């Protein structure tokens, strides 16, 4: 006959496993929503289940709104997805509670689009998936062609700009 402690311990294990599976699956499954606001070049607000959800684009960093080319990045992403239905593929939740995700407009990965058009850096510190090497090649190509923010040879990466300010 099992003691009460063994029953409680086993029940607790089952509960923890269940919560981990639920949490993990909620981050793995893509969902769709309408983009109702573009906060800046790499953060959007999407409606989902009648709620507004703040989404940070995974693996990239665009200039800050007060930084050179920051408004250009915001305008570009706005022209692409504001008012559109997008698919959100969550990758993580950041320290600010935002969903960090890949954002798809049809078959187009918006994160990648920003990099290839010269509106974003690949954020090497956080972009760790296999496709990040492709994004880095796209960034190098945009730099070489002086696309977007790469028109300025002295552009400051946003993570350094935030540190300075």
How many of the other CB atoms lie within 10 Å of CB of 41? 29
Position 77 confidence tier, pLDDT thresholds 50, 70, 90: very high
Q: Rounded to whole angstroms, how far apart are CA atoms 86 and 103?
A: 7
Structural domains of the chain ordered from first start: 29-164 (2.40.50.90)
- pLDDT (0 to 100) of residue 165: 81
- pLDDT on residue 68: 95
The count of other CB atoms within 10 Å of the CB of residue 148 is 23
- Answer yes or no: are the C-beta atoms of 115 and 60 closer than 8 Å: yes
pLDDT digits (tens, 9 = 90+) for 109-162: 999 999 999 999 999 999 999 999 999 999 999 999 999 999 999 999 999 999
**pLDDT (average), residues 83-98:** 97
pLDDT at 85: 98
In this structure, the dihedral spanned by the alpha carbons of residues 16, 18, 19 and 23, taken in order and rounded to 10 degrees, is: 140
pLDDT higher than threshold 50 for residue 28: yes
Q: Which residues are catalytic?
A: 56, 64, 98
pLDDT digits (tens, 9 = 90+) for 34-56: 999 999 999 999 999 999 999 99
| Residue 30 pLDDT class (50, 70, 90 cuts) | very high
């Amino acid at each position: 006959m099992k003691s009460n402690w063994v029953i409680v311990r086993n029940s607790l294990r089952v509960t923890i496993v269940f919560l981990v599976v639920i949490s993990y699956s909620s981050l793995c499954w893509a969902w769709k929503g309408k983009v109702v606001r573009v906060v800046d070049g790499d953060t959007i607000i999407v409606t989902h289940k009648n709620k507004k959800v703040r989404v940070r684009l995974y693996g990239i960093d665009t200039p800050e709104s007060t930084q050179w080319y920051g408004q250009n990045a915001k305008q570009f992403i706005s022209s692409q997805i504001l008012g559109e239905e997008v698919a959100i593929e969550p990758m993580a939740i950041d320290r600010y509670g935002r969903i960090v995700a890949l954002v798809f407009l049809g078959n187009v990965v918006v994160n990648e689009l920003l990099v290839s058009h010269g509106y974003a850096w690949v954020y090497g510190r956080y972009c760790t998936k296999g496709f990040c090497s492709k994004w880095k090649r796209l960034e190098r190509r945009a730099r070489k062609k002086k696309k977007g923010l790469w028109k300025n040879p002295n552009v400051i990466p946003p993570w350094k700009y935030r540190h300075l300010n």
